[in-house]
């Protein structure tokens, strides 16, 4: 008698690099459990997303290829909604999984809702309660929360937001953030030599350590900063580098034309000493973060990764949906005021760092993906067995 167990399909939708990084651990966990998993890439961000797939040796089962020059939110929403709905009608998954607050996640969630397919939201419950900060992410994630069947909250605070908004208690699961799973996995892969870090980055880090220089990692790309905030922060950091020769700054430049155009304007008028480089591959990012003394960013994921590595962070936003790092004492929320940015950077680099001992686990212990998959198995999927060619349902999740 030939008996093999299998589960009905889980369909994962990924469109951007941050989504991919945070969903790779879930994808691996599903595969380890023998669950039929269909991976759809919308390619909202083509090149940056492909880097992650290549790094983790993952090939999407479907590539919707929606990215086009000059794309805007209205185009992305309609294209992703139409194409994911067509795909869902063919695959007929038991559950659709989306992550975070991107246009891909929002539009795919809506497509699942229209087809009455259960939808699970990874990294649910993050809030600023300001629809303009971050834009459009705050609206995207709130919308997803209204139609999701399963809410995988990364922290107790995120779960509390959902419960306060009236989400049913039995639909909310506090799992930790899968970004910690990805971070620990990549740290191990680097340590074991499974992946290669760019030699020039290793040389730059080694040189900084030998010369006693403090390493800063700087990133900034959010839409709400393009009204002048981006220019103020870049100039603030650049002035600090000019005044302190014991500082070195890595700035991996986001490919958004609004970023590159603003940088060209600054470089044309200022003595520019920031070390500009192409966006880091994920293994390079983890390597540099591990050796950094400070991170300056408006990125959500970097806040989580830095705090999980016990690195101080200066957040160049007015509001953050990740207040846990602020409460733990590792994050300064300063906005885009030049003086406040410089003041926070100096304090973090030249004053003793104090933070709670359990800070590195506030976003999870590295087992979030397995928790999510266990919940999906229990509450969603139908277990079937192949018995001499006959398919028989023997167990159904609650």
Residues 304 and 255 in one domain: yes
pTM for the model stands at 0.91
Is 254 among the catalytic positions? yes
Q: Based on the domain organization, do 340 and 385 belong to the same domain?
A: no
Q: Is 161 considered catalytic here? A: no
Is residue 184 domain-resident? Answer: no
For the stretch 325-361, pLDDT in tens is 999 889 999 999 999 999 999 999 998 776 665 777 8
Tell me, rounded to whole angstroms, the distance of Cα 52 from its chain centroid: 12
Structure-token pair, residue 347 = 């304090």
d(CA 183, CA 367): 11
- For residue 191, being part of any structural domain is answered with no
Q: What local confidence, expressed as pLDDT, does residue 258 receive?
A: 79
Separation of alpha carbons 208 and 199, rounded Å: 14
Is residue 347 domain-shared with residue 379, that is, in the same domain? no
Kindly report the backbone phi and psi dihedral angles of residue 35, in degrees, each rounded to the nearest multiple of 5, phi listed first.
-90, 130
184, 198, 244, 254: the active-site residue: 254
pLDDT of residue 115: 98
CB 109 within 8 A of CB 116: no
- 189 in any annotated domain: no
Q: According to the 3-state scheme, what is the secondary structure of the chain? A: CCEEEEEEEEEEEECCHHHHHHHHHHHHHHHHCCEEEEEEECCCCHHHHHHHHHHCCCCCCEECCCCCCCCCHHHHHHHHHHHHHHHHHHHCCCEEEEECCCHHHHHHHHHHHHCCCCEEEECCCCCCCCCCCCCCHHHHHHHHHHHCCEEEECCHHHHHHHHHCCCCHHHEEECCCHHHHHHHHHHHHHHCCCCCCCHHHHHHHHHHHHCCCEEEEECCCCHHHCCCHHHHHHHHHHHHHHHCCCEEEEEECCCCHHHHHHHHHHHHHCCCCCEEECCCCHHHHHHHHHHCCEEEECCHHHHHHHHHCCCCEEECCCCCCCCHHHHHCCEEECCCCHHHHHHHHHHHHHCCCCCCCCHHHCCCCCCHHHHHHHHHHHHCCEEEEEECCEEEEEEECC
Closest of 42, 40, 41, 49 to residue 21, by C-alpha = 49
Interval 156-196: pLDDT, tens = 999 999 999 999 999 999 999 999 999 999 999 999 999 99
What's the full length of the chain, in residues? 398
Separation CA 222–CA 297 (nearest Å): 10
Active site residue 123: yes
Whether the pLDDT of residue 94 is over 90: the answer is yes
The mean of the pLDDT values for the chain is: 91
Q: Are 36 and 10 in contact (CB under 8 A)?
A: yes
Total domains present in the chain: 2
Q: Active-site residue among 149, 184, 223, 383?
A: 223
**Tell me: the pLDDT tens digits for 100-118?**
999 999 999 999 999 999 9
> Does one domain contain both 141 and 246?
no
Domain contains 183: no
Contacts of 80 (CB under 8 A, 6+ apart): 15, 42, 44, 64, 66, 103, 104, 107, 108, 111
213 and 341 both lie in a single domain: yes
19 and 43 both lie in a single domain: yes
Reply yes or no on whether 137 is catalytic. yes
* Residue 288 confidence class, pLDDT cut points 50, 70, 90: very high
Same domain, 283 and 134: no
Position 398 scores a pLDDT of 36
> Does residue 384 form part of some domain?
yes
Residues 312 and 374 in one domain: no
* Catalytic annotation, pick one of 184, 198, 221, 244: 221
Pick the more confident residue, 67 or 28: 28
Residue 315 structural domain: 198-361
The number of CA neighbours under 13 Å toward the Cβ of 13 is: 34
Strand 390-396 with 382-387, pairing: antiparallel
Is residue 207 included in any domain, yes or no? yes
Whether 256 and 373 share a structural domain? no
pLDDT tens-digit map of 364-379: 999 999 999 999 999 9
Handedness of CA 90, 91, 94, 100 (dihedral sign): negative
Pair (109, 158) in one structural domain: yes
Round the CA-based radius of gyration of the chain to a whole number and report it: 22
Instruction: State how far the Cα of 250 lies from the Cα of 253, in Å rounded to an integer.
Output: 9
Q: pLDDT tens-digit profile of 303-318?
A: 999 999 999 999 999 9
Angle at 18 between CA 12 and CA 19, to 5 degrees: 10
CA dist., res. 218 & res. 299, Å (int): 10
17, 45, 101, 151: the catalytic one is: 101
3-state secondary structure 86-107: HHHHHHCCCEEEEECCCHHHHH
Q: Which residues pair with 313 in a beta bridge?
A: 295, 331
Residue 185 lies in a domain: no
Q: Is 356 a catalytic residue?
A: no
Smallest CA-to-CA distance from 250 within 302, 322, 192 is with 302
Is position 224 within any domain?
yes
Angle between helices 17-32 and 368-379 (to 10 degrees): 60
Name the active-site residue from 137, 181, 304, 318.
137
**What is the bridge-based pairing of β-strands 150-153 and 214-218?**
unpaired
Task: Quote the pLDDT of residue 266.
Answer: 85
CATH number, domain with residue 236: 3.40.50.2000
The reply to whether 122 and 226 lie within a common domain is no
Q: Which of 311, 346, 314 is nearest to 333 (CA)?
A: 314
Q: Catalytic one among 45, 121, 123, 379?
A: 123
Q: Are residues 13 and 123 in the same domain?
A: yes
């Amino acid at each position: 008698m030939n008996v093999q167990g299998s589960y009905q399909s889980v369909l994962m939708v990924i469109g951007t690099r941050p989504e991919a990084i945070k969903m790779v651990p879930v994808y691996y966990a599903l595969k380890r459990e023998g669950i039929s998993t269909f991976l759809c890439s919308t390619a909202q961000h083509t090149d940056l997303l492909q880097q992650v797939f290549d790094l983790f040796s993952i090939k999407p089962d479907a590539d919707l290829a929606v990215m086009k020059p000059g794309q805007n939110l209205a185009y992305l929403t309609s294209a992703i909604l139409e194409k994911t709905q067509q795909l869902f009608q063919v695959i007929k998954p038991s559950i659709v999984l989306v992550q975070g607050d991107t246009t891909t996640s929002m539009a795919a969630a809506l497509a699942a809702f229209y087809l009455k397919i259960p939808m699970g939201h990874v990294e649910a419950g993050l809030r600023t309660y300001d629809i303009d900060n971050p834009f459009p992410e705050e609206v995207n994630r709130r919308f997803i929360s209204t139609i999701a069947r399963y809410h995988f909250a990364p922290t107790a605070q995120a779960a509390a937001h959902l419960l306060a908004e009236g989400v049913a208690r039995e639909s909310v699961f506090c799992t930790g953030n899968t970004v910690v799973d990805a971070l620990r996995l990549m740290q191990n892969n680097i340590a074991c030599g499974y992946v290669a870090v760019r030699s020039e980055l290793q040389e730059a880090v080694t040189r900084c350590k030998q010369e006693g220089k403090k390493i800063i990692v700087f990133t900034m790309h959010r839409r709400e900063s393009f009204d002048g905030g981006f220019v103020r922060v870049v100039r603030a950091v650049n002035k600090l580098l000019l005044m302190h020769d014991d500082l070195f700054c890595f700035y991996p430049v986001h490919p958004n034309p609004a970023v590159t155009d603003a940088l060209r304007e600054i470089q044309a008028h200022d003595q520019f000493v920031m070390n500009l480089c192409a966006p880091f591959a994920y293994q390079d990012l983890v390597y540099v973060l591990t050796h950094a003394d400070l991170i300056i960013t408006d990125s959500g994921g970097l806040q989580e990764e830095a705090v999980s590595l016990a690195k101080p962070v200066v957040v160049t936003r007015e509001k953050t949906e990740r207040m846990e790092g602020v409460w733990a004492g590792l994050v300064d929320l300063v906005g885009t005021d030049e003086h406040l940015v410089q003041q926070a950077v100096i304090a973090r680099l030249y004053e003793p760092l104090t933070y709670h001992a359990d800070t590195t686990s506030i976003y999870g212990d590295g087992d979030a993906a397995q928790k999510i998959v266990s919940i999906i198995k229990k509450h969603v999927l139908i277990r079937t067995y192949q018995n001499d060619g006959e398919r028989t349902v023997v167990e159904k999740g609650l």
